[in-house]
Structure 1
């Protein structure tokens, strides 16, 4: 699994678009932290989720998943390595973009976001393993976030992205709920990763 993790990190860090995505997430996070730490957490979430989805789904869109699974036939280990890769990259983005949050003294928000970031990375990898098309995934989750969690439930129900924002604010209950969503999504991805690569 360590070899797969090294390979995933190397592949991601040698793609210019990956650096562009991470840089954009850092700049947006740092900029919006000057106005609101909640906005910082939101943009960190968008960046970490986006990175996790793109890093995972690229294997399916560029047909490199075959090589990945030839190198690591135990697909659940490959999935675990992808999760670790997304966690490492997500934490780097969150820490660097959180400098302005620390400077402004919002330690609780920073700590809560750091605690929830690995779970969000896992959620993103799992989602991209199930829905292998990143554009469709972003549209689906964007629609869900705006219309279901926002308009229908006013961000008051323990739904995935609402619980992430609650956890980012330092709420242990929100972190617990979001951990549940991450575990369930990972279990579903563990089943879906076995399916044929032509799907």
Structure 2
């Protein structure tokens, strides 16, 4: 499994779209951390989610998933390796972009976000494994966050991204709710990774 993790990390750091996502995440995180710790948490979370989706779905987009699964027939092991790689990258980006927040008044937000970021990276991997098309995911979730979580839920109902923001601010209920959303998404990914690749 270590070889698969190493391969996924190498692939993540060698894809141009990943570098654009990584640079954008760090830049926006640092810029918005000067405005508010809440904004930093939001961009750290969205960046971790976006990078996890892009790197995981790239296998399906570029038709390398078939070669990957032929070389590594244990698909659950591949999924686990993708999860580990996504968590490592997400944590590194969150730590780098949040360096300005390591101070007494923002330490709770910083700690909460560092705890929640690995979960949203796992959530991104799981969603990309199920849907396999990043554009569909991004358009779908932008609409979901805007209309369902924002307008209807007023960012108060325990939906996925609202739960992430609550978890990032250090609320135990938010962490519990987002953990449940992540487990639900991972259950879908465990089932979905066995799907035939011919339709992708």
Shorter-normalised TM-score: what interval?
A: over 0.9
Residue correspondences, number: 199
Does 2:50 align with 1:63? no
**Cα distance in 1, alignment partners of residues 86 and 193 from structure 2:** 17
The SS at the match of 1:34 is helix
The SS at the match of 2:156 is coil
Does 2:157 align with 1:157? yes
Partner deviation per Cα, 1:41-71 (whole Å, 9 max, x = no partner): 0111111000000000000000000111112
Q: What is aligned with 1:94?
A: 94
Partner deviation per Cα, 1:98-157 (whole Å, 9 max, x = no partner): 011115741000000000011100000000001111011000011001100000110111
**Runs (5+) with no aligned partner, structure 1:** none
Partner deviation per Cα, 1:61-102 (whole Å, 9 max, x = no partner): 000001111121111110010011100000011000001111
* Offset of residue 16 of structure 1: 2.8
Matches within 5 A, 1:150-189: 150-189=150-189
Q: What is aligned with 1:139?
A: 139
The SS at the match of 1:155 is coil
Change in Cα spacing, 1:164 to 1:124, as seen in structure 2 (3 Å) is same
**Cα distance in 2, alignment partners of residues 17 and 189 from structure 1:** 23
Q: What is aligned with 1:72?
A: 72
**Cα distance in 2, alignment partners of residues 193 and 164 from structure 1:** 25
Question: Which deviates further from its counterpart, 118-127 or 20-29?
Answer: 20-29
Q: What is aligned with 2:121?
A: 121
Question: Which deviates further from its counterpart, 158-167 or 70-79?
Answer: 70-79
The SS at the match of 1:158 is coil
Q: Which runs of 4+ in 1 moved over 6 A?
A: none
RMSD: 1.0
**Runs (5+) with no aligned partner, structure 2:** none
Does 2:18 align with 1:15? no
**Cα distance in 1, alignment partners of residues 128 and 197 from structure 2:** 13
* Offset of residue 23 of structure 1: 1.3
